[in-house]
Structure 1
């Protein structure tokens, strides 16, 4: 597989700027190149909203449940260390028909978060799981359209043959372009909102497709993730844009190189303390795993990580490890990965322990909750 990108770098750095400057020069640029391989010039003189720290990732159907959200806002109020929430969205929730967008749910959350002076990060899902049936992954017009090849493909786990979920056919350039159009509209609406902190895409791993894919389709899938990342950066010039990266290991370097040249944030969907595939190093088990990239990128690009329900339960994906403590998860993310942002999944059995940890001295000593608050060197400036 091969990924070809041609990028120009943005490497100016300032440490202070005013919020007025942010919105004076932070205009969303017109929709430009949406094709992998095209020369992409990232914004170079744009300050970025920067509020590193601890965020709560909500679990479905919580974001749409008033009772659930009342609990969340109560926790945010009682836990100053928590800087905001992360909400997952599916494409179909935001675009009901071609070009018909509905961002009312995001508007409502931002309205409430602004009152509490907390921030919103959204994560667009590229895969679904049969274990968590929700809204369709793609809009009906994509699923029904022959030009979009039905929009979805089934995948399984690497040790099974049954359908585990569905992924988006990102190798199709028309599917890619419609997803870019969604990002353009989201950027136009929310880039300049002071409490809209970030936007990202879920993991790069496509699972084990249960349909036969050509090399061109596989290449196209990953090329187009990079292309969409670039367009997100273009349409959110003043907002942190991130990509969760885990597999395939042989392509991680391509994703990271794009991030270093464009200022896109690196994320990982899991903190598994003993998962071999995430820890491989280039000297003994090349190509190296995603965790190996974090230390060298510290201070250069934003670094994020998500702590999922499975991470609370075991140190390995195959569940052959042990159940870690919240302290162990936090220490690894803070000291080994040196992240700027942690997204703690609000799993009912484990989140009370997270809330308790947020009250400890190391988390209450500064606004970033003890995490690395350094403005990345690929950013022109960071603003409060």
Structure 2
């Protein structure tokens, strides 16, 4: 896997050191601005990447924080290869759902497009702070928060939604919306992507291991992250059961704006899936997307996409026919692979389904996956999402990495007289054609 800070070509600089150390932030009692002194040479290239995704020892528990709050997968070489035969076969296998399209034509959908703040720190104090900062900004509609599958379903069929209930109540008390991400991937060593009951042969182990170049945390030379074994139909069925339960509880809640899933990139697998398993993985993901929209007919449902290339055309076609929105884990201004393979799908989705790119920590510091370190202005990121990606929603990571501390620039932009005064902050507010009627509240 390409190392983030090798890509950015600034590993030895003091700026890079400060960024890396502050990126470990996330503890409830810690300040994100506190940075210890350590020479850049003290961190290896692989540890640099991991530092951006690892929280301090005082970090909130798994019940309080998502596992991939500041990280996304680098595309693997095979994910960038164009395979027309596989692409066409997969596209053909996913027949559009006429029934879903007809049902959507008369459905009222909660629609509060605009800017949302994505948090990695998840304690109640951190949520209050973030909500106070945006309370008087009508174009900043609310928060995007992440919830691990294992957190939401600690035992088979037993769902724990208390944290969502708390966060939703907090957002409502500030007059804001909540957008949630259901995480089916774990980017940190030792963190599990799926509930414990799935770690059996019946579920193909529940997950497959992904290399994250992490330090050993479990007494072994190497540790790994995980991605749900969605190629197993029983894993698919359990994920559908989860989103169905979520839909029953939150579809009609006016402050529950939307639900999305992790990016599609599969990571550097310890044991690669076969081509048949990979096809099954994305066939099942398409079925999860469709089933989740059935469970949330009056709520925005979104899938973050990027790679692998052979499966994206079919997956996006299924999303468009199922009224499932298109999001993404990164807003890179000059990334060759994204501009060539991924961003054109935003054009296909424009006006048809909701579009919601996100600005992650890496995007504040570089203009492409390959670097170099050349921080764009936050106004450039906003303009790119608005004009190139046709965003209805834009999710901004609350990144406080020193010395740039980009989220402060985001807040200054939001409060600037030059920022668009409309209720979406310059983003597209048009109701998607696949929806019946868009309403602020049901």
CA displacement at 1:360 relative to structure 2 = 2.8
User: Which residue pairs with 2:95 in the alignment?
Assistant: 6
Give the 3 Å change call, closer, same or farther, for CA 263–10 of structure 1 in structure 2: farther
Q: Secondary structure at the match of 1:208?
A: coil
- Please list the CA deviations of residues 291-320 of structure 1 after superposition, one character each: whole Å capped at 9, or x if unmatched: 112234321211110100010111121323
Q: Secondary structure at the match of 1:85?
A: strand
Answering whether residue 297 of structure 2 is matched by residue 245 of structure 1, we say: no
User: Which residue pairs with 2:6 in the alignment?
Assistant: none
Give the 3 Å change call, closer, same or farther, for CA 166–92 of structure 1 in structure 2: same
- For 2:391 and 2:188, locate their aligned partners in 1 and report how far apart those are by CA, in whole Å: 31
Q: 1:369 aligns with which of 421, 425, 431?
A: 425
CA displacement at 1:10 relative to structure 2 = 6.8
- For 1:291 and 1:163, locate their aligned partners in 2 and report how far apart those are by CA, in whole Å: 33
Give the 3 Å change call, closer, same or farther, for CA 11–225 of structure 1 in structure 2: closer
Q: 2:361 aligns with which of 280, 304, 309?
A: 309
Q: 1:66 aligns with which of 114, 121, 124?
A: 124
Q: 1:197 aligns with which of 247, 252, 257?
A: 257
CA displacement at 1:125 relative to structure 2 = 1.5
- For 2:319 and 2:286, locate their aligned partners in 1 and report how far apart those are by CA, in whole Å: 9
User: Which residue pairs with 1:283 in the alignment?
Assistant: none
CA displacement at 1:264 relative to structure 2 = 0.7
- For 1:223 and 1:209, locate their aligned partners in 2 and report how far apart those are by CA, in whole Å: 19
Answering whether residue 294 of structure 2 is matched by residue 234 of structure 1, we say: yes
- For 2:100 and 2:182, locate their aligned partners in 1 and report how far apart those are by CA, in whole Å: 27
Matched ranges for 1:338-353 at <5 A:
338-348=390-400, 349-353=405-409
- Please list the CA deviations of residues 352-376 of structure 1 after superposition, one character each: whole Å capped at 9, or x if unmatched: 1111111234545211111000001
Q: Which runs of 5+ in 2 are unaligned?
A: 1-85, 214-221
CA displacement at 1:67 relative to structure 2 = 2.2
Q: Tell me if the contact between 2:104 and 2:434 (Cα under 8 Å) persists in the aligned partners.
A: no
Q: Secondary structure at the match of 2:258?
A: strand
User: Which residue pairs with 1:263 in the alignment?
Assistant: 323
User: Which residue pairs with 1:323 in the alignment?
Assistant: 375
Higher relative contact order (CA 8 A, sep 6+): 1
- Please list the CA deviations of residues 173-206 of structure 1 after superposition, one character each: whole Å capped at 9, or x if unmatched: 0111001000000000000000000001110110
Q: Which moved more, 1:42-51 or 1:146-155?
A: 42-51
CA displacement at 1:78 relative to structure 2 = 4.0
Q: Tell me if the contact between 1:42 and 1:233 (Cα under 8 Å) persists in the aligned partners.
A: no
Give the 3 Å change call, closer, same or farther, for CA 42–363 of structure 1 in structure 2: farther
User: Which residue pairs with 1:34 in the alignment?
Assistant: none
CA displacement at 1:338 relative to structure 2 = 1.4
Q: Secondary structure at the match of 1:96?
A: coil
Q: Tell me if the contact between 1:123 and 1:200 (Cα under 8 Å) persists in the aligned partners.
A: yes
Q: Which moved more, 1:333-342 or 1:209-218?
A: 209-218
Q: 1:106 aligns with which of 153, 160, 164?
A: 164
- For 2:272 and 2:320, locate their aligned partners in 1 and report how far apart those are by CA, in whole Å: 33
Answering whether residue 339 of structure 2 is matched by residue 279 of structure 1, we say: yes
Q: Secondary structure at the match of 1:342?
A: strand
- For 2:106 and 2:399, locate their aligned partners in 1 and report how far apart those are by CA, in whole Å: 39
CA displacement at 1:321 relative to structure 2 = 5.4
CA displacement at 1:146 relative to structure 2 = 2.2
Q: Which runs of 5+ in 1 are unaligned?
A: 13-40, 281-288
Q: 1:225 aligns with which of 260, 279, 285?
A: 285
CA displacement at 1:43 relative to structure 2 = 4.4
Q: Secondary structure at the match of 2:116?
A: strand
Runs of 4+ in 1 over 6 A off after TM superposition: none
- For 1:218 and 1:296, locate their aligned partners in 2 and report how far apart those are by CA, in whole Å: 24
Q: What TM-score, normalized to structure 1?
A: 0.84
CA displacement at 1:163 relative to structure 2 = 5.9
